[in-house]
Amino acid sequence: MSVVETNGKQTVLDGMVAIEMLDKYELIVIGGGPAGLSAALSAREHGLKRILIVERDVDLGGILNQCIHNGFGLHYFGEELTGPEYAAKFVDRLEGQSIDVLCDAMVLEIIPGEDGHVLRLMSMEAGYCTVRSRAIVLAMGCRERTRGAIQIPGTRAAGIFTAGTAQRYVNIEGYMVGRRVIILGSGDIGLIMARRMVLEGAKVLACVEIMPYPGGLARNIVQCLQDFDVPLYLSHTITKIEGKERVEKVTVQEVNDRFEPIEGTEKVFDVDTVLLSVGLIPENELSHVAGVEMDAKTSGPIVFENGETSIPGIFACGNVLHVHDLVDFVTTESEGAGRAAAEYVLRQEDTTHVRMCENESYISLVIDESVAYTVPQRIRVLRIDDGVRVFFRVKAPHKTPKRIVFRDGERIVASFRRPYMTPGEMEHVTLQRAELDNVSGNELLISVEEIR
Amino acid sequence: MFDVAIIGAGVVGCAVAYELSQYELRVALIEKENDVAMGASRANTAIIHGGYDPEPHTMMGKLNVEGMHRCFELCEELDVEHKKTGSWVVAFDEEQRVTLQMLLVQGIANGCEGLDILEGDVVRLQEPNLSDEIVAALWVPESGVLNPWEFALAMAEVAVRNGVIFMPNTDVRDLSWREDHYEMGARVVCSGDETTIRARHVINAAGVESDRIHNMVAPPAFEIVPTRGEYYILDGTAAGHVVRSVVFPCPTRAGKGVTISPTIHGDYLVGPNAEVIDDRTDTSVTRSALLDIADKARRVVPDLDLRTSIRNFAGVRSNSTYGDFFIEKSATNFIDLAAIKSPGLTCAPAIARVARKMLCEEGIPMERRVLWRGGRRVIRFKEIPEEERAAFVRAHPLYGRVICRCETITEGEIVAAMKREIPPVSIDGVKRRAGTGMGRCQGGFCGPRVLEIIARESGRDPLCIEEDGCGSFMLIGETKDPTCREI
């Protein structure tokens, strides 16, 4: 027996029938969070009829389901929503769209092929199946960096959680993870959890950030730390965790500009809980195995202007591509990828077009040391209608106005002014088709410069 | 009244329990922690040593090669994850090349087979990531890696299946001889209750506490010198190919040095250092040791990317003033299997056989258990061949739900672990049996679901479930419970 959830209602199918039916998909979207939902809906809107969303959790919505705070949707919907409300808007839109949904299911492998891509997926209901799809959208999201990744010295006591795991325990499972809390890292989830723990009655003694500037959004520093009197220690880190069974004590030290602890600056906090908010990593194990070309700077796939990866017909969007600060941008990016996937499938019938695309030239976006990364990394100019949106992050904070310059050799192709920039806030600019048409080489260099 | 009480359920205690379970004896396996293999047996380099390193006249030298062969056999019999990778000892200069020669001669004396010294360039054909400065290396084909806690657990599970009584959370406080038996006063950890255990024979396999147990019945003969070793685990997917075989530097007086080895889970283990500490339970990691290990490891593999680290841990080894395994009959009906340091994991099965012979000499009747049930099979979804998976999942739907996405561990594997002879009581107990939380996210995603499954399968309150040892609770209460409020 196999159960495929369609429009929120479960359709029970015979196992064999289900697999045959699964074989007919034009698009399979891996991940039912904000990225996957938007991509699927957009692909449907642009003409695809047979779409499947595979979600590993029991419900659609992804990590938004545990983000019960507000602040979502200001850009996309022009209103303040909570995470579950934002997700629900998209889940509701699935109604009547005949998009199939398989929850509590894992995609184990993607095997790319010229005649469609093969996926191996599994769930208790559907069993272990091999399915084929013309196109794939990768929308698996990201995961949190852990203690082992940053080598915090000390014991292995209980009470050390990543902020997101703690958020799940508190907001979904309904359990408190601690009474006296210290937060390492000032990423957005850590800031949100600082406020959440205070609201649930815990004491948050400090938020400690190794960099000289905060990692999260300015609004979260104000609304989650300052408003709740949680001190933020910049250029500080945890240098020792003590406690046998459960965390008992944490030592915090100031660091020098090589991030080494400075002797004599020790502060000891009596806490039973350490929450880590030390970065997010796109979750690309499936992409690696599929052989998608990766960008070491984003830890995500290298993509073209429409979200297509180095493997034709495989697209990527959302946090699997690069870590976003705002879900609104995930949505717009994913709508683009969904539309591109639809165009890819619909143009497949047009074989002359496919041949034309094979040797299509592109411009590579390259960065200097002032920029952390860009997405997309490659632009096929002929595929652009009016303009293309380029997302990027700066390497270090700029408190005075600067300009972002795109250079074709010596010549400036485009330049944009920004009053203020920080690595914690993703930036974007739009390059016009006309500007790109004038590029003579196959590289555009992006840099942050003083305004002259 | 037990015929034999084994104090300590580390790999040595478990190996003895396994050995004795084959005879008609009443055996107790007493452990102060809440699971088997909670000390050095779970925090070590996870290597089946070839046997070239210990000097031939020592117990270590006498038992290593036999232990190595027996380890590989047991891993096969008990379905313990292992791999015969072979190992290298690398030399950076001519002086170290002389050491390799010495190790080769010593290895042959200990019974090693297939040893060979190869030139640096030849070694690099096999292990291209090794440093250009390496001039030669000793090749040890009969060696490998294993899952050390599963090894101890597998032996203990078979022992329990055949009548051995496993007594976790039982801390032996005093031991005295009463005419024809020992009386042990023990404290039940967590509850604090006192209990008395009686046994005609006692085996001391208490690892880092083995001198304290010894001193309860005999004059001091050795002293444990607790020696901490710290490690990195590197994510195999992110680190790319590092080494195929275990790579040791040339050994020194301080130990075998910082080793780089593949793990059976496809990751890499880097470490340990060796630091003498006072607190025998202190398994903290330190900044200075990790930096030191990183430097030493990069000397062997210059491009080693330690940013791919997913976990650090430390183990406290039972080095001692005696300098060798202390395997002696130290009092009436009391056998020390004490000060078992490296290569103790490899030697454990051979030590167990020695213990059995010593018990025989003490006059204990050794009659083969007629209905002994050996062997062990574990279903690991990842190992099921592609063409059989669909049918298997149809027949066993719980294996169709992935709980640990980094390591692809299914609910079926966790539930099966919960139903074995020694069920896990903690999240790390499940980790040691099923492999959940071993990967990149370190249990960030699967932790809450594993906790839920433990609670469901064992009928316990989720609030009582520990991360690891007794008292290491994950949760403090339900939200909105006023007793959880700090402000």
More confident residue, A358 or A314: A314
Q: Rounded CA gap, A95 and B89, in Å?
A: 64
* Helix count and strand count (H, E) for chain A: 11, 32
**Nearest alpha-carbon partner for A202 in B475, B463, B487:** B487
Binding-face residues of A in 38-67 toward B, CB within 8 A: 56
Query: What residues in A contact B467, CB-CB < 8 Å?
Result: 158
Q: What is the dihedral of CA B218, B317, B248, B296, to 10 degrees?
A: -140
The reply to whether A170 touches chain B by the CB within 8 Å rule is yes
Q: Do B405 and A239 touch (CB under 8 A)?
A: no
Query: What residues in B contact A175, CB-CB < 8 Å?
Result: 462-463, 475-479
Query: What residues in A contact B485, CB-CB < 8 Å?
Result: 179, 201-202
Where do the CATH 3.30.9.10 domains begin and end in chain B?
A: 84-141+224-318
Q: Rounded CA gap, A299 and A76, in Å?
A: 26
Q: Rounded CA gap, B232 and A148, in Å?
A: 8
The reply to whether A164 touches chain B by the CB within 8 Å rule is yes
The reply to whether B400 touches chain A by the CB within 8 Å rule is yes
Query: What residues in B contact A240, CB-CB < 8 Å?
Result: 284
Q: Do A177 and B474 touch (CB under 8 A)?
A: yes
Query: What residues in A contact B384, CB-CB < 8 Å?
Result: none
Phi, psi for B451 (deg, rounded to 5)? -55, -45
Query: pLDDT value at position A1?
Result: 30
> Hey, how many other C-beta atoms are within 10 angstroms of the C-beta on A66?
21
B49, B181, B201, B265: the active-site residue: B49
Burial of A437 (0-12, 13-18, 19+ CB in 10 A): exposed
Query: What residues in A contact B287, CB-CB < 8 Å?
Result: 151, 153, 239, 261
Binding-face residues of A in 60-99 toward B, CB within 8 A: none
Query: pLDDT value at position A356?
Result: 54
Give the strand pairing for A25-30 and A127-138. parallel
Give the strand pairing for A175-176 and A280-282. unpaired
Residue B98 Cα to chain centre, angstroms: 32
Q: Do B233 and A148 touch (CB under 8 A)?
A: yes
Specify the amino acid at residue B314.
A
Query: pLDDT value at position B109?
Result: 97
The reply to whether A122 touches chain B by the CB within 8 Å rule is yes
Q: Which two tokens stand for residue B92?
A: 């950076």
> Hey, how many other C-beta atoms are within 10 angstroms of the C-beta on B220?
9
Q: Per-residue pLDDT for A216 more than 50?
A: yes
Please check whether residue A370 is in contact with residue A447, taking contact to mean a CB–CB distance below 8 angstroms.
yes
**A160: nearest CA in chain B?**
B474
Q: Which two tokens stand for residue B273?
A: 């250092």
Specify the amino acid at residue A147.
R
Q: What is the dihedral of CA B38, B43, B46, B51, to 10 degrees?
A: -90
Q: Do B311 and A147 touch (CB under 8 A)?
A: yes
Specify the amino acid at residue B394.
R
The reply to whether A289 touches chain B by the CB within 8 Å rule is no
CA distances from B6 to A413, A425, B203, B340, B355 (A): 78, 60, 5, 15, 11
Residue with tokens 């994850």: B81
Q: Which two tokens stand for residue B336?
A: 């020390």
Q: How far is B279 from chain A (nearest CA, A)?
A: 12
Give the pLDDT band (50/70/90) at residue A354.
Answer: low
Q: Do A180 and B486 touch (CB under 8 A)?
A: yes
**Nearest alpha-carbon partner for A98 in A48, A134, A133:** A48
Each residue's pLDDT tens digit, A256-286: 999 999 999 999 999 999 999 999 999 999 9
The reply to whether B372 touches chain A by the CB within 8 Å rule is no
Q: Do B486 and A173 touch (CB under 8 A)?
A: no
CA distances from B299 to A426, B239, B255, B259 (A): 39, 17, 17, 11
Q: pLDDT 10s digit of each residue in chain B, 487 long?
A: 999 999 999 999 999 999 999 999 999 999 999 999 999 999 999 999 999 999 999 999 999 999 999 999 999 999 999 999 999 999 999 999 999 999 999 999 999 999 999 999 999 999 999 999 999 999 999 999 999 999 999 999 999 999 999 999 999 999 999 999 999 999 999 888 999 999 999 999 999 999 999 999 999 999 999 999 999 999 998 888 999 999 999 987 767 889 999 999 999 999 999 999 999 999 999 999 999 999 999 999 999 999 899 999 999 999 999 999 999 999 999 999 999 999 999 999 999 999 999 999 999 999 999 999 999 999 999 999 999 999 999 999 999 999 999 899 999 999 999 999 999 999 999 999 999 999 888 999 999 999 999 999 999 999 999 999 999 999 999 999 998 888 7
Task: State yes or no: is B201 an active-site residue.
Answer: no
Best of B232, B280, B308, B312 to mutate (most A CBs within 10 Å, chain A) = B312
Q: Rounded CA gap, B199 and B26, in Å?
A: 9
Choose the closest CB to A158 out of B389, B405, B474.
Answer: B474
Q: Per-residue pLDDT for A11 more than 80?
A: no
Q: Rounded CA gap, B154 and B162, in Å?
A: 13
Each residue's pLDDT tens digit, A309-321: 999 999 999 999 9
Provide the 3-class DSSP secondary structure of residue B380.
Answer: coil
Q: Do A174 and B478 touch (CB under 8 A)?
A: yes
Query: pLDDT value at position A12?
Result: 38
Q: How far is A342 from chain B (nearest CA, A)?
A: 29
**Nearest alpha-carbon partner for A179 in A226, A239, A267, A248:** A248
Q: Per-residue pLDDT for A113 more than 80?
A: yes
DSSP state of B398: G
**B487: nearest CA in chain A?**
A201
**Nearest alpha-carbon partner for A139 in A58, A64, A72, A53:** A53
Query: pLDDT value at position A8?
Result: 38
> Hey, how many other C-beta atoms are within 10 angstroms of the C-beta on B102?
13
Please give the interface size between A and B, counted as residue pairs whose CB atoms are below 8 Å apart.
165
Name A1's Cβ contacts closer than 8 Å, sequence gap at least 6: A12, A13, A14, A15, A125
Q: Per-residue pLDDT for A10 more than 60?
A: no
Q: Do B463 and A175 touch (CB under 8 A)?
A: yes
> Hey, how many other C-beta atoms are within 10 angstroms of the C-beta on B338?
29
Strands (E), B189-294: 194-204, 224-234, 246-249, 259-262, 268-271, 275-276
**B308: nearest CA in chain A?**
A149
Q: Rounded CA gap, A223 and A216, in Å?
A: 12
ipTM higher than threshold 0.90: yes
Each residue's pLDDT tens digit, A320-332: 999 999 999 999 9
Q: Do B286 and A143 touch (CB under 8 A)?
A: no
Query: pLDDT value at position A6?
Result: 43
**B397: nearest CA in chain A?**
A124
Query: What residues in B contact A241, CB-CB < 8 Å?
Result: 284
* CATH no. for B84-141+224-318: 3.30.9.10
Each residue's pLDDT tens digit, A193-215: 999 999 999 999 999 999 999 99
Choose the closest CB to B287 out of A108, A153, A281.
Answer: A153
Q: Do B445 and A178 touch (CB under 8 A)?
A: no
Q: Do B479 and A170 touch (CB under 8 A)?
A: yes
Question: CATH says B1-83+142-223+321-377 is which class?
Answer: alpha beta
Q: Per-residue pLDDT for A15 more than 70?
A: no
Q: Rounded CA gap, B446 and B201, in Å?
A: 44
DSSP H stretches of helix in B127-235 = 148-161, 210-217
Give domain B381-482's CATH number out of 1.10.260.40, 1.10.10.1100, 3.40.50.720, 2.160.20.10: 1.10.10.1100
pTM above 0.90, yes or no: yes
Residue with tokens 């015979």: A14
Query: What residues in A contact B390, CB-CB < 8 Å?
Result: 127-129
Name A133's Cβ contacts closer than 8 Å, sequence gap at least 6: A25, A26, A27, A28, A52, A116, A117, A119
Binding-face residues of A in 297-356 toward B, CB within 8 A: none
Where do the CATH 1.10.10.1100 domains begin and end in chain B?
A: 381-482
Binding-face residues of B in 140-199 toward A, CB within 8 A: none
Each residue's pLDDT tens digit, A122-171: 999 999 999 999 999 999 999 999 988 888 999 999 999 999 999 999 99
Q: How far apart are the first and last CA of chain A?
A: 69
Burial of A113 (0-12, 13-18, 19+ CB in 10 A): exposed
Query: pLDDT value at position B146?
Result: 98
Binding-face residues of B in 273-312 toward A, CB within 8 A: 281-287, 290, 307, 309-312
* Max CA separation in chain A (angstroms): 71
